[in-house]
Structure 1
Amino acid sequence: MQFLNGITLLLVYQLVGEITVRLFALPIPGPVLGMVMLFATLAIRGGTPAAVDHASSTLLSHLSLLFVPAGVGMMAHFDRIAAEWLPITLTLFLSTIVTMVATAIVMQVTTRWLTGNARETQEADHD
């Protein structure tokens, strides 16, 4: 029963995200917004309910099964992928580079921000 409660809660957040995106015509996927809402709720609560923890652990243990449809889709459209291999390869390569650069910048900014806050806290404690 705990799994059913947890998966229901996860699907409700996905549904709320989907409805919000369609209602306000937002340019992001509904499940992503639902995940952000779930994250905010869990951060505010300060922990994960047991039902959500159980459902998410179960889903993650079977994560490899979720890649089967993607693999089948690649095999079904192999001719198209083979015909357009150059744009696909360039897109994958460039998006990987952009993602790595963006991640490095965010990490540097966050590290400087956290280091600065830690330094200010230490200085305030010494005063």
Structure 2
Amino acid sequence: MTSFITLLLFQVLGEAAAFALSVPIPGPVIGMILLLLWLIARQQQDSELIRFSSRFLRHLALLFIPAAVGIMTQFERLANEWPAILAAVFGSTLASIVVTAYLVRGLDGED
């Protein structure tokens, strides 16, 4: 139970930081960064947090159900704006592939 509270605490801290600093970064992302920094600072593994997170990740797909239902309520908008959505999806995917390729190449030391 303390692992769940720890994860919620860092999410709330991230939300509070995003609100207080008015940054365009989602609160949960800031919370994950804070959690990472906290885990690095502790310099030891939290076996209970690892065990809880592993069990929690097995059920991660359930968290996408509300998003899927939300999309289903927007069929008219999707029908009207599908070219822009398609261009954004393909463009961002292509950009991600190119950036990842350059990063891998750079980290491997290839020229």
| Normalised TM-score (structure 1) | 0.77
| Normalised TM-score (structure 2) | 0.87
Q: Which runs of 4+ in 1 moved over 6 A?
A: none
Higher alpha-carbon deviation: 24-33 or 85-94: 24-33
> Which amino acid in 1 is paired with 2:11?
Q
- Report whether the alignment pairs 1:66 with 2:44: no
- Report whether the alignment pairs 1:107 with 2:90: no
Structure having the higher Rg: 1
**How many pairs does the alignment contain?**
110
Distance 1:27 1:66, change over 3 A: same
Distance 1:43 1:111, change over 3 A: farther
Distance 1:40 1:110, change over 3 A: farther
Residues 9-66 of structure 1: CA deviation (Å, up to 9, x unaligned): 0111111111111111122111101101111222333443122112211211111111
Structure 2 distance, partners of 1:11, 1:48, is 19
Higher alpha-carbon deviation: 56-65 or 40-49: 40-49
1:85 maps to which of 82, 85, 88: 82
Consecutive unaligned residues in structure 1, runs of 5 or more: 116-127
CA positional deviation for 1:91: 0.4
- Report whether the alignment pairs 1:22 with 2:16: no
> Which amino acid in 1 is paired with 2:51?
H
Consecutive unaligned residues in structure 2, runs of 5 or more: none
Alignment-derived partner of residue 44 in structure 1: 41
Q: For the aligned residues, what is the CA RMSD?
A: 1.7
Work out the percentage of aligned pairs sharing the same amino acid: 37
Structure 2 distance, partners of 1:59, 1:83, is 37
Greater share of residues in helix:
1
> Which amino acid in 1 is paired with 2:23?
L
Q: Which has the higher contact order (CA 8 A, sep 6+)?
A: 1
Alignment-derived partner of residue 76 in structure 1: 73
